[in-house]
Amino acid sequence: MTKAADRLLDAIEEKKNPSVVGLDPRIGLIPEHIKEEAAREGDMPFETVHNALVKFNHAIIDAVKDVVPAVKPQMAFYEQYGSWGVKAMESTISYARARGLVVIEDAKRNDIGSTAKAYADGHLGTVETADKTSVTAMGADFITVNPYLGTDGIKPFLDACKEHHRGIFVLTKTSNPSSGEIQDVLTTDGIPVYELVASLVNGWGEELMGTYGYSSVGAVVGATYPREAERLRELMPNTIFLVPGYGAQGGTAEDVMPCFDPQGRGAVVNSSRGIIFAYQREAYRHEYGPEGFAEAARAAASNMRDDLLAALEKSGKLPKGW
Amino acid sequence: MTKAADRLLDAIEEKKNPSVVGLDPRIGLIPEHIKEEAAREGDMPFETVHNALVKFNHAIIDAVKDVVPAVKPQMAFYEQYGSWGVKAMESTISYARARGLVVIEDAKRNDIGSTAKAYADGHLGTVETADKTSVTAMGADFITVNPYLGTDGIKPFLDACKEHHRGIFVLTKTSNPSSGEIQDVLTTDGIPVYELVASLVNGWGEELMGTYGYSSVGAVVGATYPREAERLRELMPNTIFLVPGYGAQGGTAEDVMPCFDPQGRGAVVNSSRGIIFAYQREAYRHEYGPEGFAEAARAAASNMRDDLLAALEKSGKLPKGW
């Protein structure tokens, strides 16, 4: 199996598209006809939610699978429904991977020692069952992690990445307004905390370098902070950036350009609501009703790709042959 | 319903015991007879694991319920088995709460905006199902959270805490060797990052103050750093400390004394492996075999309480009437 960084970068080359669709389903926004079907097949409230999430996600995945290289299910939107929600996550991950999509599980997990190992094994590797056989639980390609606990919290994930050819994205500079409260604080070394995290990420990634010169240890860098992203791109030449904040959070295609290297590589830009619930947006509502939600998502994903490619071209970074 | 901080401090008073049992089950350490029973009742590997975790935890809860005020299930040890594991977590939480124990879910969750709200609603509040009814998913009293994203990541948890009388513990200074890589870094304000987090925690807790003068917004402060704990106790006079690192990680009863206020209140000390797998420890193995694992846990929990009370007495902090 190729390294996770290479699988992601290969998929980006193949689709000629450095973007990822965030699978953040909200039951209130899922079309009524899906919920009605789901209710006919489930008895309990959470079972019905599970059915609706699965039907919705599978349709979205089928619609976007030849447009985008990857999907990013956000664990919170599944886990909030407890075990039934996590079951929908499992189904989503395996359905997407079986259709050739790279799966980035956005879970921002963090803990230490044997506890971090349990997270790493469960999400990226295999776990031992009662009769001592090894079984895959979640089976994602990548998971997002939080660095606040230091190397003790990351090492078990690195071990799982090495053994199972998986990857992580480490929260570095996040897209939200208050991210600076801790991340921007200046240290006595003259650098902000997020630059300190960047240097840790560089170190963590050294042993997971792929053939493109990028490591399977990536960084989360928000689209809403282009100046910081530019600096981080310099500081982390071997790190793939997972870029949230495009679209609904206000980041534009131009804002994310500093996340790419001069050859237009090394970044993958996420959009969630703007794609999966495109059928409710002014620009898509009239052409695609609720029945056409998946086609609307496909159109929105194609438009996002075109938007990014136009910005890459304008900034002189469009990869050769795209 | 009383505030979460008051429920926890009431329970500590009632049991005269400021400790919590960490429910961190490892399938490899669960006694064989439990696993055999579990296998007879389950067809699939993860179903058997679920059955074993539930049987084991229920027995431990029954054995310690009149000794300790609270339990702390660590989500990683459930989630690693996917939806079946999370189902075991749900069962553990509701079984413990029905027996009067306060439940602190150790999940270290973190995200922003509507995503953080999904975590908060799912773990502490209620979520809306397909037919728009509100249902409780996990139903914990407290959850641990990570502060790296700043106030945006905490606010949705505070809202759930207010509405549903729940609480959070914010990672501040963790017990692991590498916690200093980010947490101890000196800022240009002359304080380390963990003190900056302490001041954020103080602010987040202001609107959730209980009758003991402690807030439902607590802090995680490791037993392995007594000097830092002493300073944090001064800086956070209204914050309950959840203290990991006692026992297996090397922290002693003496080490955790700085986490308590002069009246011996305001801290709750965790031990996991040392209690739930006491039946394998030298000190308990001979009296309690695998069949007596629950009684061994009870004995170990009582010994931990006595150890803490002796240290409180020695440091002149034993609460009156204990």
B271-314 pLDDT, tens per residue?
999 999 999 999 999 999 999 999 999 999 999 999 999 999 99
Average pLDDT over residues B126-150: 96
Confidence at residue A289, expressed as pLDDT on a 0 to 100 scale: 92
Chain A residues in contact with B111 by the CB 8 A cut-off are 74, 76, 108
Mutate to test the interface with B, among A75, A112, A199 (most CBs of B within 10 A): A112
Distance from CA of A148 to the nearest CA of B (A): 6
Taking only the tens of pLDDT, chain A with its 322 residues reads 899 999 999 999 999 999 999 999 999 999 999 999 999 998 899 999 999 999 999 999 999 999 999 999 999 999 999 999 999 999 999 999 999 999 999 999 999 999 999 999 999 999 999 999 999 999 999 999 999 999 999 999 999 999 999 999 999 999 999 999 999 999 999 999 999 999 999 999 999 999 999 999 999 999 999 999 999 999 999 999 999 989 877 899 999 999 999 999 999 999 999 999 999 999 999 999 999 999 999 999 999 999 999 999 999 999 999 9
Question: Which residues of A participate in catalysis according to the annotation?
Answer: 108
Q: Determine, for residues B82 and A137 on separate chains, whether the beta-carbon distance falls below 8 Å.
A: yes
Q: Determine, for residues B27 and A129 on separate chains, whether the beta-carbon distance falls below 8 Å.
A: yes
Taking the CA atoms of B245, B250, B252 and B255 in sequence, report the sign of the dihedral they define.
negative
Chain B residues in contact with A74 by the CB 8 A cut-off are 111, 115
Mutate to test the interface with A, among B43, B51, B72, B86 (most CBs of A within 10 A): B86
Nearest to B88 by CA among B123, B117, B46: B46
In angstroms, the CA A194 to CA A183 distance is: 5
Nearest to A210 by CA among A182, A238, A251, A232: A238
Closest partner CB to B76 (pick from A111, A178, A197): A111
Domain membership flag for residue B169: yes
Domain membership flag for residue A320: no
> How many domains are there within chain A?
1
In angstroms, the CA A84 to CA A268 distance is: 30
Residue of A nearest to B84 (CA): A83
Residue of B nearest to A42 (CA): B130
Give the A:B interface size as CB pairs under 8 Å: 234
Mutate to test the interface with A, among B43, B117, B138, B148 (most CBs of A within 10 A): B148
Distance from CA of B56 to the nearest CA of A (A): 13
In angstroms, the CA B315 to CA B322 distance is: 14
Determine how many CB atoms are found less than 10 A away from the CB of residue A282.
Answer: 6
Residue B164 pLDDT greater than 80, yes or no: yes
Domain membership flag for residue A209: yes
Q: Determine, for residues B83 and A81 on separate chains, whether the beta-carbon distance falls below 8 Å.
A: no
Out of B16, B108, B155, B317, pick the active-site residue: B108
Residue of A nearest to B200 (CA): A181
Chain A residues in contact with B174 by the CB 8 A cut-off are 112, 148-149
Contacts of residue B223, defined as CB under 8 A and 6 or more positions apart, other chains included, come to B175, B229, B243, B244, B245, B246, B249, B251, B252, B255, B256, B259, B269
Domain membership flag for residue B319: no
Which strand (E) or helix (H) includes residue B198?
helix B193-205
Nearest to A246 by CA among A280, A275, A217, A284: A275
Domain that holds residue A44: 4-314
Confidence at residue B1, expressed as pLDDT on a 0 to 100 scale: 83
Q: Determine, for residues A152 and B127 on separate chains, whether the beta-carbon distance falls below 8 Å.
A: no
The DSSP-derived string for A86-115 is HHHHHHHHHHHHHTT-EEEEEEEE---HHH
Chain A residues in contact with B79 by the CB 8 A cut-off are 86, 118-119, 122
Closest partner CB to B174 (pick from A131, A149, A171): A149
Determine how many CB atoms are found less than 10 A away from the CB of residue B320.
Answer: 6
Closest partner CB to B133 (pick from A45, A174, A182): A45
Closest partner CB to A115 (pick from B74, B130, B138): B74
Closest partner CB to B82 (pick from A77, A122, A133): A122
Confidence at residue A164, expressed as pLDDT on a 0 to 100 scale: 98
B250: confidence class by pLDDT, cuts 50, 70, 90? confident
Supply the mean pLDDT for chain B.
97
Contacts of residue B250, defined as CB under 8 A and 6 or more positions apart, other chains included, come to B224
Taking the CA atoms of B310, B308, B200 and B5 in sequence, report the sign of the dihedral they define.
negative
Nearest to B27 by CA among B45, B9, B53: B53
Domain membership flag for residue A106: yes
Mutate to test the interface with A, among B35, B181, B276 (most CBs of A within 10 A): B181
Q: Determine, for residues A79 and B86 on separate chains, whether the beta-carbon distance falls below 8 Å.
A: yes
Residue B248 pLDDT greater than 80, yes or no: no
Q: What is the CATH number of the domain that holds B205?
A: 3.20.20.70
Domain membership flag for residue B322: no
Predicted ipTM of the assembly = 0.97
The DSSP-derived string for A168-190 is EEEEEE-SSGGGHHHHTPBBTTS
Angle subtended at Cα B316 by Cα B240 and Cα B283, rounded to the nearest 5 degrees: 80
